[in-house]
Amino acid sequence: MASRREFLSGSAAAGLGLGLGGFSTIGCTGSEGGGAGGEGLGSASVSQPEIPRAEKPLRILILGGTAFLGPAQVEYALARGHTVTLFNRGRTNPHLFPDVEKLVGDRAEPDYTALEGREWDAVIDNSANVASWLMDSTALLTESVGRYLFVSSISAHKDNSIIGMDENGPVFTKEEYDEAVASGAGMGATFGPNKAQAERETFQAFQDRGIVVRPGLIVGPRDNSGRFTYWPVRIDRGGEVMAPGDGTDRAQIVDVRDLSRFMVHLIEEEAKGTFNATGPESPLTMAGMLYGIRAVTSTPVTITWVDADFLREHEVGGWMEMPVWVYPEPETQGFSAYDCTKAIEAGLTFRPLAETARDTLDWWKSLPEEDQGLRTGIDPEKEADVLRAWHARNG
């Protein structure tokens, strides 16, 4: 189980995939990246409600665009009447969006030749989890692009002890970034410092034309990380579901489609500055989330809350085995309690949890069986063992 120190430093995230930045291995190793990766995982078609067209069509370049967040952005931007160009290596879900212009290049090389001599109204940079990638792309695009929206992460904040922290809360410093890079540590430990440094580089290069969005846990159709998907899938399987704590611990999630709409909206509105985009608008507890999910399934199910100390004794990991949830500690109490008022005032809206839960489950069920493995969530046998022990102890 990850120790508190590991969790906070992000080094546990490296090993366990805890970080708020997807599961992709983009960057450090130069290895195969891009989240969903495999054929089929990003191929489910996701229905969109009627979307009005924007008054002014824009030319939008998306760096990335084919794993999880990207496809939702592409779908929304196209529905608004914008023209979209994608830039990636052509490896992740290359079958997606056959009618959209695709430029090929590798940011790890770096090779941006395909972008040279071209102009766009705005860029959305999804794929920079490494600050140096963003330095290269902003250097190339400052003159040829109107706005630069960098997709950062709430992990750029270095202190999870503060409940209700807003955009002005402390982020990793330049010195901490330099140390992280020099340490040669993996993506988990360097993710937050890289995001914080990339944010500074965005504003350095684009100034008032720069936008930074810091999502918390992004959920919804096409998320194969399992970090939220586990719960709808597990609850739909039915029977006795083990749930962590007493139900009062906080949860923060944002539907990928709401986040995508918000990002395109910021570009259309020519916004500037930094926005924490964690959601939802009204505080959500683990009980609110799990009972909300239960409401969209018809399988008989009981939810048994097992207290945190008991889970710890039985080596059940927060976040990874009990997704969305972290052990309540003074150091982590702010983890799911970020303030996103500024984003809401700038236009971030949230669909009902029931819609997110139902669409996530429908998407997951539409996958071929071989792609239905979840990378997070407690093993069913371990869940049954811990529940047996819990009932034995409580008579």
Ligand X SMILES: NC(=O)c1ccc[n+]([C@@H]2O[C@H](COP(=O)([O-])OP(=O)(O)OC[C@H]3O[C@@H](n4cnc5c(N)ncnc54)[C@H](OP(=O)(O)O)[C@@H]3O)[C@@H](O)[C@H]2O)c1
* Residue 107 interacting with ligand X (CB under 6 A): yes
Nearer to ligand X, 33 or 242 (CB): 33
- Mark the segment that binds ligand X (CB under 6 A) among 17-25, 264-272, 320-328, 351-359: 17-25
DSSP states along 274-340: EEEE---SS-EEHHHHHHHHHTT--S-EEEEEE-HHHHHHTTPPBTTTBTT-----TTTTTTT----
Q: Among 13, 14, 18, 26, indicate the residue that binds ligand X (CB under 6 A).
A: 26
Please report whether residue 348 would count as binding ligand X according to CB under 6 A.
no
β pairing state of 253-255 and 145-151: unpaired
Q: Are 117 and 91 in contact (CB under 8 A)?
A: no
- Binding region for ligand X (CB under 6 A) out of 31-39, 134-142, 281-289, 359-367: 31-39
User: Is residue 27 a contact partner of residue 125, using CB atoms and an 8 Å limit?
Assistant: no
Minimum Å gap between C-beta 370 and ligand X is 20
Residue 127 touching ligand X (CB under 6 A)? yes
Instruction: Scan residues 183-242 and list those touching ligand X (CB under 6 A).
Output: 215, 217-218
Upper half-sphere CA count for residue 94 (Cβ side, 13 Å): 6
User: For ligand X, which stretch binds (CB under 6 A), given 90-98, 172-180, 345-353, 385-393?
Assistant: 90-98
**153 lies in the site for ligand X, by CB under 6 A:** yes
| 85 touches ligand X (CB under 6 A) | no
Locate tokens 């993710």: which residue? 191
Closest to ligand X by CB, 231 or 383:
231
Pick the binder of ligand X from 2, 41, 77, 89 (CB under 6 A): 89
- Sole binder of ligand X in the list 53, 91, 391, 393 (CB under 6 A): 91
DSSP-H helix ranges across 142-245 = 174-183, 187-206, 230-237
The end-to-end CA distance of the chain, in Å, is 27
Cα(274)–Cα(206) distance, integer angstroms: 13
Kindly list the residues in this chain that would bind ligand X in the complex (CB under 6 A). 20-22, 24, 26, 33-35, 64-70, 88-92, 106-108, 126-127, 129, 151, 153, 215, 217-218
